[in-house]
Amino acid sequence: MGDVIVRSDFSDLYERLKQYENVYMVYDRNVETFADEIAEAAGIQASMAIDADGSNKNMDTVLDICRFLLAMDADRRAFVLAVGGGTTTDIVGFAASIYKRGVRFAFVPTTLLAQVDASIGGKTGVNLDSFKNLIGTFSFAEFTYSCTAPLRTLSQRDLVSGYAEMLKSFIICSSELYEKAVAVLPSVTPDNVSVLVDLIQATQDFKTGVVERDPHEKGERKCLNLGHTYGHAVEWWEQTHECEVEHTHGEAVAIGMVKVAELSEELGYAQKGLAQKIAADLRRCGLPTELPCPAEDLAEALTKDKKNVGGKVKFVYIREIGKVEWSA
């Protein structure tokens, strides 16, 4: 996989982009200020704005991007730069991976959630009929450039949403990093987000290592799905029931981690009290921990999750903080 870079500004990005000809930028309309800054400094002439929300994470948006590249006469030497959150990187990475059988691309993630998870690892894709990421590819960005400056523009809720994926990584790999994060995160706001640099770097280092060892999710990488089986089911339920306020992806994953911690206790994988501790820690960090509906209402989404094999629902169980296990 390509380089994963964390910086406090975009200066290194501008230098890096100078080595590419035929750069085409696709960005989330919500980060137009940053996209304009990058385009001007790097001399990018062709760009496209998209509305990167869940309702547009579909093949229609992918085809719009492909049509944009075609209209710009982009050939197989094209280099596509995605600027935005995880929805943007998922959509644009997928479009680039299939346009003319695949062109080079890179990511500039502008949300914490994208910086610590969505933009790293080579998974691209879009939703199908409200089911998460059922259409996609494994295709690796040439580089991922994370800059802390855009994080200062996030709402507190969007910032907190990223905490869930960070804490997920630490539940998998390190009790020490988990406890450090739980101590730091409750006091973080967009104004002092620079204190997260070391935690962002640690999360990226962990995920990058896992992906390099298991790029196509045949073994170890499956553990990165901790909390996502229930999390994706929560997102499906809210999208299909027209909820007035839906949980963010990170919030849904937080709920999913608590549910799977409870399941881990019930099945004897973990000692009693683990789920209660994780739920309390997540609440301290501002994350929700309760399902928005009865658990049985999630059955359809759980059975259609893309990680299932032979009709069996798959979970990542928690043995203890810092140690997890993928269900056989």
Q: Nearest 5°: phi and psi at 242?
A: 50, 50
User: Does this chain's domain 3-153 share its CATH topology with 156-326?
Assistant: no
Q: Is 323 a catalytic residue?
A: no
Percent of the residues in the chain that have a pLDDT greater than 70, as a whole number: 98
Reply yes or no on whether 265 is catalytic.
no
Q: Is residue 225 annotated as part of the catalytic site, yes or no?
A: yes
Domain 3-153 belongs to what topology?
Rossmann fold (3.40.50)
Residues 310-325 have a mean pLDDT of 90
Say if CB 135 and CB 157 are below 8 A apart.
no
Per-residue pLDDT band at 314 (split at 50, 70, 90): confident
pLDDT at 1: 72
pLDDT in the model for residue 31: 96
Q: What token pair was written down for 296?
A: 């049985």
The domain limits of the chain are 3-153, 156-326
User: Is the confidence at residue 327, as pLDDT, over 90?
Assistant: no
How far is the CA of 146 from the CAs of 1, 47, 64, 213, 288, in angstroms? Answer: 16, 20, 26, 22, 26
Q: Look-up: residue for tokens 């093949």?
A: 59
E strand or H helix at 65: helix 59-71
Pick the catalytic residue: 165, 235, 262, 265?
Answer: 165
pLDDT score, position 328: 62
Q: Can you tell me the mean pLDDT for 14-29?
A: 95
Whole-number pLDDT of residue 308: 65
Q: What is the pTM of this model?
A: 0.91
- SS3 sequence, 242-304? CCCCCCCHHHHHHHHHHHHHHHHHHCCCCCCCHHHHHHHHHHHCCCCCCCCCCHHHHHHHHHC
Other CB atoms within 10 A of residue 19 CB? 7
Fold of the CATH domain 156-326: Dehydroquinate synthase-like, alpha domain (1.20.1090)
pLDDT over 90 at 189, yes or no: yes
pLDDT at 47 over 80: yes
Which of 165, 120, 137 shows the shortest CA–CA distance to 2? Answer: 120
207 is catalytic: yes
**Would you mind telling me the total number of residues written for the chain in this entry?**
328
Give the confidence band of 309 by pLDDT, cuts at 50, 70, 90: low
Q: What is the pLDDT of residue 311?
A: 67
Our answer to whether residue 249 is catalytic in this structure is yes
The residue annotated as part of the active site, out of 221, 222, 247, 259, is 221
pLDDT at 100 over 70: yes
Q: Is 165 a catalytic residue?
A: yes
Is 228 considered catalytic here?
yes
| Catalytic option among 225, 235, 238, 259 | 225
Report the pLDDT value the prediction gives residue 135, as an integer from 0 to 100: 96
132, 232, 247, 259: the active-site residue = 232
Catalytic annotation present for 247 = no
Give the residue-averaged pLDDT of 28-38: 96
Q: What is the tens place of the pLDDT at every residue in 134-152?
A: 999 999 999 999 999 999 9
Confidence of residue 245 (pLDDT cuts 50, 70, 90): confident
